[in-house]
Amino acid sequence: MHYFNRTYFEKETDQWPMISLIFKIEIPLIVFNILHTWLFHWINLKSVQFHNNWASIMSILYIQHIVADCAWIGQRVLLIQDSFTDPFESDLFIRLSYIRAFCLFLGLSILPCLIIERIYATIHISDYESKLRAHIFYTLLCLLTIIGSITSYTYHKYESSLAIFTFITISSSLGIMGNIILLNLNLRYYDERSEACLKTRYQITENIKVCRLVNGIVFSMGGFNGLMCITIITDKFNLSTYTSSLSMFAFDISAIIYSTVFPYVCMHYCKNWKATFLKLIAKFTRQRRSVQPYTTPESINKAGLTLKNTKGEVMSEYTTDVYFQQLKLSWA
pLDDT for position 192: 84
23: closest CA among 257, 252, 258?
252
End-to-end CA distance of the chain: 60
Each residue of 232-259: pLDDT tens digit? 777 666 777 777 777 777 788 888 888 8
Quickly state the pLDDT bin for 318 (edges 50, 70, 90): low
Distance of CA 61 to the CA centre of its chain: 6
How far is residue 220's CA from residue 30's CA, in Å, rounded to a whole number? Answer: 22
How far is residue 148's CA from residue 171's CA, in Å, rounded to a whole number? Answer: 14
227: closest CA among 255, 263, 262, 265?
255
Pick the more confident residue, 273 or 90.
Answer: 273
pLDDT for position 182: 93
Q: How much is the CA Rg of the chain, to the nearest whole Å?
A: 24
Pick the more confident residue, 211 or 313.
Answer: 211
Q: CB burial class (10 A; 0-12, 13-18, 19+) of residue 124?
A: middle
pLDDT for position 330: 58
Can you tell me the mean pLDDT for 66-76? Answer: 92
Quickly state the pLDDT bin for 184 (edges 50, 70, 90): very high
pLDDT for position 185: 92
pLDDT for position 145: 95
Residue 100 and residue 186 in contact, taking contact as beta carbons nearer than 8 Å: no
pLDDT for position 158: 80
DSSP-H helix ranges across 158-300: 161-192, 198-232, 241-269, 271-285
Residue 4 and residue 243 in contact, taking contact as beta carbons nearer than 8 Å: no
pLDDT for position 181: 94
In degrees and rounded to multiples of 5, residue 308 shows phi and psi of -110, 150
Return mean pLDDT, the chain: 82
pLDDT for position 300: 46
Domain boundaries defined on the chain:
6-285
Half-sphere CA count of 38, side-chain side, radius 13 A: 11
Q: Taking 60 as the threshold, does the pLDDT of residue 172 lie above it?
A: yes
CATH for 6-285?
Answer: 1.20.1070.10
DSSP-H helix ranges across 14-108: 16-47, 52-79, 91-108
Among the ranges given (80-84, 92-96, 126-130), the one the predictor scored with the smallest mean pLDDT: 80-84
Q: How is the chain split among helix, strand and coil, in percent rounded to 5?
A: 75, 0, 20
pLDDT for position 147: 94
Each residue of 119-167: pLDDT tens digit? 998 998 888 888 888 999 999 999 999 999 999 999 888 876 788 888 9
Q: What percent of the chain has pLDDT over 70?
A: 82
Residue 32 identity (one-letter amino acid): F
Predicted model pTM: 0.79
Each residue of 258-302: pLDDT tens digit? 888 888 988 888 888 888 899 888 888 765 555 555 555 544 444
